[in-house]
């Protein structure tokens, strides 16, 4: 396990990886591992920097988020929301074929271990509100503004 913390435009970001994949990207580090940078972590940081400066819309990284099968299904669906677009939790639940699982989708989205790269910040409330985000609503607002998303309700 490798991890490294960088200072970015959105604050301190810790990127974790195993030998083959990014396993987490958090704005707060809740994972125990020896600090050790790897080539893959450097690549993820470069792509994150490009994204935060508006030069990149998509990430090209091998990902291995840790979670349940349901959580991974939600994260995979979140990953299909294009840059600059949003969907509601209800729409995401419908996308995965579980229209009644809106709250479970929200809970799974909140457990996303790879912020920004898996773009759960693009999932909003049915009324256009910036509800729930593991990185905090301020971060969600910043990321959506960066992507040029106009939402009906902001912080």
Pairing of strands 123-124, 87-88: parallel
Four-residue CA torsion sign, 148, 15, 67, 139: negative
With a CB cutoff of 8 Å and minimum separation 6, the contacts of 38 are 2, 4, 17, 19
Four-residue CA torsion sign, 47, 51, 55, 61: positive
Task: For residue 20, count other CB atoms closer than 10 A to its CB.
Answer: 9
Active site residue 120: yes
Report the number of secondary-structure helices (H) and strands (E) in the chain.
5, 5
Which residue out of 120, 123, 130, 139 is catalytically annotated?
120
Catalytically annotated residues: 120
């Amino acid at each position: 396990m490798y991890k490294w913390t960088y200072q970015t435009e959105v604050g301190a970001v810790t990127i974790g990886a195993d030998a083959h994949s990014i396993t987490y990207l958090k704005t707060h580090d809740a994972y125990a591992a020896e600090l050790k940078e790897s080539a893959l972590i450097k690549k993820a940081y470069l792509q994150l920097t490009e994204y935060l400066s508006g030069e990149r819309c998509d990430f090209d990284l091998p990902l291995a988020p840790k979670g349940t099968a349901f959580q991974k299904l939600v994260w995979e669906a979140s990953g299909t929301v294009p840059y600059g677009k949003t969907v509601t939790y209800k729409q995401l639940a419908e996308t995965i074929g579980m229209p009644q699982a809106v709250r479970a989708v929200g809970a799974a989205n909140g457990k996303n271990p790879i912020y920004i790269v898996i773009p759960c910040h693009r999932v909003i409330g049915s009324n256009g509100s910036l509800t729930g985000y593991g990185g905090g609503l301020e971060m969600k607002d910043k990321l959506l503004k960066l992507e040029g998303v106009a939402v009906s309700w902001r912080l």
